[in-house]
Amino acid sequence: MKLRKKKNWNLWNVQDSGGFQDKMAIPENIINEIRERADIVEIIDSYIPLKKAGRSFKALCPFHPEKTPSFYVSPQKQIFHCFGCGEGGNVFHFLMKYLNTSFVEAVKQVAEIVGVEIPEKEYRDSGTKKILDLNKLVMEFYRKQLNSEKGKTCREYLKSRGLTPDIVAQFRLGYAVSQWDALVNFLKKKGYDYKFLIEAGLILEGKDSGSYYDLFRDRLIFPIIDNKEKVLGFGARTLGSALPKYINTPETPVYKKGRILFGIHLTLEEIKKQRSAIVVEGYLDMISLYQVGIKNVVASLGTALTPEQVRFLKKYVDEAIIIFDGDQAGQMASLRGLDIVLEEGLRAKAVALPPEYDPDSFVHKKGRDEFLKLVENRQDIFDYKLNTLLNIYGKDSLDARIKVVEEMFLSIDKIPNYLVRSECIKKLADKVGFEEKMVWDQYNLRGRKSSRINMAVPGPAVNKKYAPVEATLINLMITRPQLIEELKELLSPQEFITPELQKLVEKIYTIYPDCERLKVGNLLNFVSEDEANILAEIMSEDIECSPEVLDNLLTDCVIRLKELRIKKYCEFLMQEIKKAQTACDNTKADELLRELNDVVRKSKINI
């Protein structure tokens, strides 16, 4: 997420829950009023149960799997921070992450809670709304074409696939006629210019200057609609011999491939109700299951779930059931995506269809009940991947068994919980026919990070990117802004070690002396997502000291940071000297050594 600021407006380009970019603006004073009226504890507690822990509140983190609470909320500072995964920020950041929504939508939700009205005239439309409105118009154009005389062949195709008129209407399916410029002509009459239509991913420019043609021609149209009923783009299946069989809207300001689940606008409520989602690959797979009464189904529109799709599902389900086609090629392609599910900590099961079947063909030939029987016998995704690899490679030879083990290690690496990893190692050893200790030894020899073998770590460990002295200085700037003027004379932003903190200090120096905007809750509105996470972690610590101690602390921190930067530079020079010596470049090595000695002599530090 990147934040851009202009004058006294907050202008962002951030991801929305339906998987598209939303550029809008709300005046800064309104954002601050909303944030100041909000109680972060009350709002977060309405989503996850918080427990009092001293002056703060704690909970199991909703953003990564853990057994011991590491998610803390500070009512004094109105921020949250997870010491397990590093997520942090103010109330807006929490809603953006938890609800997978945009900044603007998060602000609007909090505004509704605290009773602050955001005048519609205050919004600045960057073109996103225009594209969404255009997509809605185009969807209706395609629907009208489907019901016209020209759409007869497409209607017959839908009938042959077993889709009823009611289902066709529910999914708002349409038809793009074979004429090269039917949509171009329709939209030109509506006053749209070609450049905007190209940006929206609906038309293409021809080879001849000034000529344009429709992207979709003689194709069945599937509108891609998010859970807020916004038409983000379109998928299209050929009715003739054109290749590829399926094409989608290219990436646009509103449509980002891999961030939307097809059918979610119709099935989200049932998914939330059942706390379970069945995930298939294609449009017709999803529609066919929905038609026979399986209403908690979505389509990934690809061979594997993406991280964004997995995170979206995690908010609503206790389990995802992933359906794999029966062909081996499809299974192999899908296996590569299972590691994403493991890494994101989504509890998931797998169902393998018989050979030559996909969900659409299976439910039409075998029926709903037979499909649900397969679902009842679903496997854990780790077991599914292991069994599939054993079927493909076998275990008759040592090479085949080693190949299976090495591929499964890649999956085990992604599992954040030590106990789950241990159980998977045991399963792997049993299935492949190696002693468990041998498998463990081989796994540990692969140079895994130490955080992977620490049982005390409940979730993915946070590797602090910054030095403690940097954190202390930034904490002092924000809690005691009167020190900033002095610090600006002593330290430039570039003297900080961590790139994110260099940018953060630049912003602090720029905002000063506007102390109101330097309050941590306000400052979080002006920084990137990475900077927000680091800032929330830094500000979760309290620095309490007398004025006398504070003066010494400030001086000491400045000196230590300067020394640290010099040491880092010396380490860099030593690495370069070693490289030069390895390359037998004695001239360069001597030059670097002289520079190193000069730096050490001038700085008077030990390295």
Joined tokens for residue 558: 């400045």
CA atoms within 13 A on the CB side of 1: 29
Q: What is the pLDDT of residue 457?
A: 31
pLDDT of 11 over the 90 cut: no
DSSP letters spanning 432-456: HT--HHHHHHHHHTT---GGGG-TT
- Least-confidence region, from 13-22, 194-203, 381-390, 582-591: 13-22
Q: What angle do CA 156, 160, 164 make, to 5 degrees?
A: 80
Q: CB 93: neighbour CB atoms within 10 A?
A: 23
Q: What is the pLDDT of residue 120?
A: 57
* Separation CA 327–CA 404 (nearest Å): 19
- Region 367-381: mean pLDDT is 94
- Region 555-580: mean pLDDT is 86
- Region 305-327: mean pLDDT is 85
- Which percentage of the chain shows pLDDT scores above 90? 37
pLDDT 10s digits, 244-259: 899 999 988 889 888 8
CA atoms within 13 A on the CB side of 483: 21
Joined tokens for residue 205: 């420019």
* Separation CA 116–CA 525 (nearest Å): 18
Pairing of strands 51-53, 56-59: antiparallel
Q: What is the pLDDT of residue 435?
A: 92
pLDDT band at residue 37 using 50, 70 and 90 as cut-offs: confident
Write down the H helix ranges in 84-127: 91-98, 103-114
Residue type, 355: P
Q: Which residue has the higher pLDDT, 577 or 326?
A: 577
Q: What is the pLDDT of residue 144?
A: 98
pLDDT 10s digits, 141-150: 999 999 999 9
Joined tokens for residue 389: 């690899």
DSSP letters spanning 247-303: EEPPP-SS--TTS--BTHHHHHHHHHHHTEEEEESSHHHHHHHHHTT--SEEE-SSS
- Least-confidence region, from 36-45, 120-129, 355-364: 120-129
- Least-confidence region, from 191-195, 256-260, 512-516, 574-578: 512-516
* Separation CA 569–CA 576 (nearest Å): 11
**Mean pLDDT score across all residues of the chain:** 83
- Region 74-87: mean pLDDT is 85
Buried b (16+ CB within 10 A) or exposed e, 440-464: beebeeeeeeeebeeeebbbbbbee
Q: Which residues contact 146 (CB under 8 A, 6 or more apart)?
A: 154, 155, 168, 173, 174, 175, 221
Q: Which residue has the higher pLDDT, 222 or 546?
A: 222
pLDDT 10s digits, 560-570: 888 888 888 88
Joined tokens for residue 54: 């001293």
Q: CB 409: neighbour CB atoms within 10 A?
A: 17
Q: What is the pLDDT of residue 20?
A: 30
Q: CB 13: neighbour CB atoms within 10 A?
A: 17
pLDDT 10s digits, 496-543: 988 888 888 988 888 887 777 777 767 777 777 777 778 888 887 777
* Separation CA 347–CA 332 (nearest Å): 21
* Separation CA 92–CA 96 (nearest Å): 6
Q: What is the pLDDT of residue 607?
A: 52
- Which percentage of the chain shows pLDDT scores above 70? 88
**Phi then psi for 203, rounded to 5 degrees?**
-135, 165
Query: Taking Cα atoms as reference points, which of 99, 104, 112, 109 lies closest to residue 128?
Result: 104
| CA 320 to each of CA 278, 290, 325: distance values in angstroms, whole numbers, following the listed order | 6, 16, 16
pLDDT band at residue 467 using 50, 70 and 90 as cut-offs: confident
Chain-centroid distance of CA 436 in Å reads 35
- Region 164-189: mean pLDDT is 96
Q: What is the pLDDT of residue 8?
A: 36
DSSP 3-state helix, strand, coil percentages of the chain (rounded to 5)?
50, 15, 35
pLDDT 10s digits, 94-110: 998 888 888 888 898 89
Give 607's DSSP letter: -
Q: What is the pLDDT of residue 284?
A: 96
Q: What is the pLDDT of residue 124?
A: 44
pLDDT of 17 over the 70 cut: no
pLDDT band at residue 6 using 50, 70 and 90 as cut-offs: very low
DSSP letters spanning 30-53: HHHHHHHH--HHHHHHTTS--EEE
Peptide bond into 499 cis (omega under 30): no
This prediction has a pTM of: 0.59
Q: Is 173 within 8 Å of 158 (Cβ atoms)?
A: yes
Q: Is 146 within 8 Å of 154 (Cβ atoms)?
A: yes
pLDDT of 217 over the 90 cut: yes
Structural domains in the chain, sorted by start: 2-122 (3.90.580.10), 128-248 (3.90.980.10), 265-453 (3.40.1360.10), 468-602 (1.10.860.10)
Q: What is the pLDDT of residue 18?
A: 35
| CA 293 to each of CA 57, 222, 297, 365, 371: distance values in angstroms, whole numbers, following the listed order | 43, 20, 10, 16, 12
Which sign does the torsion angle of CA 199, 224, 325, 238 carry?
A: negative
Pairing of strands 297-299, 276-280: parallel
